């Protein structure tokens, strides 16, 4: 199954190898479009996944603040999402 992430008229990511955790599709970083992710200062903590870092998305001439996240050093139980990025905040993730 091919999953696609879109926002503001642009395709942000497309992959046949997403990992689903808690209903979110995590895309391999290599399958995310270059230039759309802008590092953010935001972090959050999950007891079983660890500390998430965020990106804002720059697409279609607009910025979607903190709309993507990843775990740079996930805990052991979440090691399968290392190197993957998930989206939210209005980003449409659909199967194609």
Give the pLDDT confidence of 56-74 residue by residue, as tens digits: 999 999 999 999 999 999 9
Secondary structure of the chain in HEC code, one letter for each residue: CCEEEEECCEEEEEECCCEEECCEEEEEHHHECCCCEEEEEEEEEECCCEEEEEEEEEECCEEEEEEEEECCCCCHHHHHHCCEEEECCCCEEEEC
Range of 57's domain? 3-95
Can you give the CATH number for the domain in which 47 is found?
A: 2.170.150.40
Global confidence as pTM: 0.96
User: pLDDT digits over 3-49, tens only?
Assistant: 999 999 999 999 999 999 999 999 999 999 999 999 999 999 999 99
* Confidence (pLDDT) at 46: 97
The total of structural domains in the chain comes to: 1
């Amino acid at each position: 199954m091919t999953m696609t992430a879109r926002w503001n008229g642009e395709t942000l990511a497309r992959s046949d190898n997403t990992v689903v955790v808690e209903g979110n599709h995590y895309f391999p970083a290599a399958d995310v479009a270059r230039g759309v992710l802008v590092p953010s200062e935001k972090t959050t903590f999950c007891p079983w996944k660890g500390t998430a870092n965020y990106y804002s998305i720059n697409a279609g001439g607009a910025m979607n603040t903190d709309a993507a996240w990843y775990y740079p050093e996930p805990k052991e139980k979440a090691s399968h999402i290392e190197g993957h990025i998930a989206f939210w905040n209005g980003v449409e993730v659909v199967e194609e």
